[in-house]
Amino acid sequence: MAFTAASSLSSKSLLLYPHQPLTPIFNSKPRHHKPILAIHAADPSKSSKSTDIATSSTTPVPIQWSLESWKSKKALQQPEYPDQIVLDSVLKTLESFPPIVFAGEARSLEDRLAEAAQGKAFLLQGGDFAESFKEFNANNIRDTFRLLLQMSVVLMFGGQMPVAKAGRMAGQFAMPRSDPFEERYGVKLPSYRGDNINGDAFEPLKGICHRRIRSNAESHPLES
């Protein structure tokens, strides 16, 4: 690229100034620079402090991860379970179930997402804002997968690159709400937060803990 730029500038200078000698753009004599051995601060007494401050601010503090570490984080939009004993029983039941997504599948998705971030693949993500127990049937699952596969084929041939398919499904049974309560005709009840918490009918909460077991059971066929 440098050779091309030099050639174009030389020809242009010959056309504009035909009687002047051509001046070389690059100096043929090598320049000798003194190597930089060290860089010192203006005040040596403050250099160690500034280094310590920079090191402490940039070095991440290691966090000891555990299965219970997520409970120490602040979480918003959480439902209020009326019976802690029933909730603990449901959580123990869920712990005995196999995972919806296995570790190998998660690592494979990370690799595909990395390819998409580098421009080597196209990311196609589809699904509902919130899934519903009422729409859980074989026809809806088949049509959703068919649509994603058809879209991926079109994108693959149109973009001439592989397509990483990700489904926003198999667990999208909850949604955030701006107001935790809803009032109708003078009656104030909890807002609909998704089938994982309560139903869409305007009625008091019931069976809120056991809904989590049903949502887990309906998520497995989508991942199989």
The answer on whether 168 is annotated among ligand-binding residues is yes
H or E stretch covering 106: helix 103-117
pLDDT, residue 222, reads 65
Q: Are 181 and 191 in contact (CB under 8 A)?
A: yes
pTM of the model: 0.56
Residue 64 in domain: no
Residue 37 in domain: no
pLDDT, residue 19, reads 44
Say which residue, 103 or 32, is predicted with more confidence: 103
Parent domain of 123: 83-223
Share of the chain above pLDDT 90, in %: 21
pLDDT, residue 61, reads 64
Strands 122-127 and 163-168: parallel
Confidence of residue 31 (pLDDT cuts 50, 70, 90): very low
Residue 48 in domain: no
pLDDT, residue 76, reads 84
Residue 18 in domain: no
Domain count, the chain: 1
Residue 65 in domain: no
Confidence of residue 25 (pLDDT cuts 50, 70, 90): very low
Residue 129's domain is classified under what CATH number?
3.20.20.70
pLDDT tens column, 54-84:
445 566 666 788 878 888 888 888 888 888 8
Distance CA 181, CA 202 (A): 11
H or E stretch covering 104: helix 103-117
Residue 219 in domain: yes
Residue 17 in domain: no
pLDDT tens column, 118-168:
999 999 988 877 888 888 888 888 888 899 999 999 999 999 999 998 887
Residue 212 in domain: yes
Q: How far is CA 106 from CA 69, 110, 166, in A?
A: 20, 6, 11
